């Protein structure tokens, strides 16, 4: 027997393995046109949101060159306090000055949408991350320890699942001002103790019975070590997948709460539509006339939600071999 001497340090091998699995995953992913589309839309929105600071500057140089004082006074491209005094009546239809028109208060819709985009990302991803972290740890520990811990968390999940989440958030909105971050936190925690623990526990159970867990145990690994180094890495792909679906859910819930006027968020896509609704522009025949008040924001919500869902579905086919083509 010749002894193999591996000269490379361990982290380099890990990195290589990681790159290789990423490459094979990407090969599979590339075939999913819908998932690619979703990724494209997400990247588009990310760039779109990051470009927001440029937009008022460009508009100022184009239309407000002669009137710097008026620009400073009215800040026509500010998403919250902006107002355009040169237009006779608001809401005004799309024009060169305001590519998506203005709302009843005279604010520029495009700047409102651009300003909200990074906030939607932050909200969705924060909520989903919290959900997934809680769900993964609980799922893994419930599967590993079994017994009382398992029963406790599964019954807890049953109770959490009984609550209609939207109705519960509505009640919670009476307790506190649901700012963006608080809303993300609450949604994340509520979802984290819910159905995701059931799914991840089922997955962790299949990992728990594999031989390497016994091997780790026999070498004297502690429970925490086994859970964090052996079980969680193996259910991480599935958690990541559920994160995508949770981003969709979080953005949708925020939009609905804002739309019903129950969240305390200064500006978001839902708030834009709520503005149109509460000032009476969504009644009867005026719906079509004032389309720019609700259509762009609604389309943005739909597109971002569905693109995360597409991405999730694409990843699902990679993570879950049952759904692979051959």
Partner 1 sequence: MLKFLGKRVLQIVILLFIYVTVVYWLIEAMPGSFVDQYLLNPKLTPEIRENLKRQFGFDKPAHIRYLIYMKNFLTLDLGISFSYFPTKVTTIIAERLPRTVFLFVTSTLVSYVLGYSLGKRAAWKRSGILDKTTTFVGIVFWTIFLPLLAIFNIWLFGVILKILPLNQFIDPNLWKTAPLSAQTIFIRLLLTALVFLIVFLIALLISNRLKTIPAKKTMLYTSSITTIVVSIVIWILSGYSIYAWDIIKHMVLPVLTLTLYSFAGSMLVMRDTMLDVIREDYITTAKAKGLPDNVVRDKHAARNALLPLVTNFVISLGFTVGGGIITETMFSWPGIGRAYLEALNTQDTPLLIGLLVFTGIFVLIAHLVADVLYAVLDPRIRY
Q: Site residues (CB under 8 A) for partner 1?
A: 33-34, 155, 158-159, 161-164, 166-167, 170-171, 174-175, 248, 252, 255-256, 259-260, 273, 282, 284-285, 287-288, 294-295, 298-299, 301-302, 305-306, 308-310, 313, 322-323, 325
Nearer to partner 1, 56 or 117 (CB): 117
Q: Are 156 and 193 in contact (CB under 8 A)?
A: yes
**Least separation, in Å, of the C-beta of 223 and partner 1?**
29
Nearer to partner 1, 211 or 284 (CB): 284
**Least separation, in Å, of the C-beta of 42 and partner 1?**
13
Distance from C-alpha of 299 to C-alpha of 269, rounded to nearest angstrom: 10
Nearer to partner 1, 127 or 232 (CB): 127
Look up residue 231 and give its DSSP letter: I
Cis peptide before 60 (omega within 30 of 0): no
Nearer to partner 1, 11 or 175 (CB): 175
**Least separation, in Å, of the C-beta of 313 and partner 1?**
7
Which structure tokens are listed for 303? Answer: 């597109």
Which structure tokens are listed for 185? Answer: 């936190």
Q: Are 112 and 234 in contact (CB under 8 A)?
A: no
Question: Which residues have a Cβ under 8 Å from the Cβ of 304 and sit 6 or more positions away?
Answer: 41, 42, 45, 120, 124, 251
CB burial class (10 A; 0-12, 13-18, 19+) of residue 22?
Answer: exposed
**Least separation, in Å, of the C-beta of 85 and partner 1?**
30
**Least separation, in Å, of the C-beta of 121 and partner 1?**
16
Nearer to partner 1, 226 or 301 (CB): 301
Distances 161 to 23, 107, 155, 165, 188 between C-alpha atoms, Å: 38, 40, 10, 8, 14
**Least separation, in Å, of the C-beta of 276 and partner 1?**
9
| Element holding 6 (H helix, E strand) | none
Distance from C-alpha of 71 to C-alpha of 135, rounded to nearest angstrom: 49
Nearer to partner 1, 64 or 294 (CB): 294
**Least separation, in Å, of the C-beta of 310 and partner 1?**
6
Nearer to partner 1, 140 or 297 (CB): 297
Q: Are 307 and 41 in contact (CB under 8 A)?
A: yes
**Least separation, in Å, of the C-beta of 272 and partner 1?**
11
- State whether the Cα torsion 181-43-47-97 is positive or negative: negative
Nearer to partner 1, 45 or 309 (CB): 309
Distance from C-alpha of 192 to C-alpha of 239, rounded to nearest angstrom: 11
């Amino acid at each position: 027997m010749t002894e193999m001497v591996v000269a490379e340090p361990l982290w380099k091998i890990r990195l290589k393995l990681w790159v290789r699995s990423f490459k094979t995953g990407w090969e599979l992913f590339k075939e999913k046109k819908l998932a690619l589309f979703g990724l494209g839309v997400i990247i588009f929105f990310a760039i779109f949101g990051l470009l927001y600071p440029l937009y008022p500057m460009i508009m100022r140089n184009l239309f407000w060159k002669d009137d710097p004082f008026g620009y400073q006074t009215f800040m026509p491209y500010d998403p919250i306090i902006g107002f355009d005094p040169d237009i006779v009546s608001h809401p005004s239809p799309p024009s060169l000055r305001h590519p998506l028109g203005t709302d009843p208060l005279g604010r520029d819709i495009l700047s409102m949408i651009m300003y909200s985009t990074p906030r939607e990302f932050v909200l969705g991803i924060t909520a989903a991350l919290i959900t997934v972290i809680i769900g993964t740890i609980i799922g893994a520990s419930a599967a590993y320890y079994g017994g009382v811990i398992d029963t406790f968390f599964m019954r807890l999940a049953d109770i959490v699942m009984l609550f209609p989440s939207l109705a519960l958030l509505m009640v919670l909105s009476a307790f506190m001002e649901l700012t963006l971050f608080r809303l993300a936190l609450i949604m994340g925690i509520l979802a984290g103790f819910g159905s995701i623990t059931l799914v991840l526990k089922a997955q962790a159970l299949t990992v728990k019975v594999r031989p390497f867990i016994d091997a780790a145990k026999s070498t004297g690994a502690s429970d925490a070590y086994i859970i964090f180094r052996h079980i969680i890495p193996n259910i991480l792909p599935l958690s990541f997948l559920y994160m995508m679906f949770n981003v969709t859910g979080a953005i949708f819930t925020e939009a609905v709460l804002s739309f019903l006027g129950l969240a305390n968020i200064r500006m978001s896509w839902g708030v834009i539509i709520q503005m149109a609704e509460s000032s009476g522009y969504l009644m009867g025949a005026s719906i079509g006339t004032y389309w720019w008040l609700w259509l762009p924001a609604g389309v943005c919500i739909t597109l971002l939600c569905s693109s995360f869902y597409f991405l999730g579905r694409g990843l699902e086919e990679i993570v879950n071999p049952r759904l692979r083509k051959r």
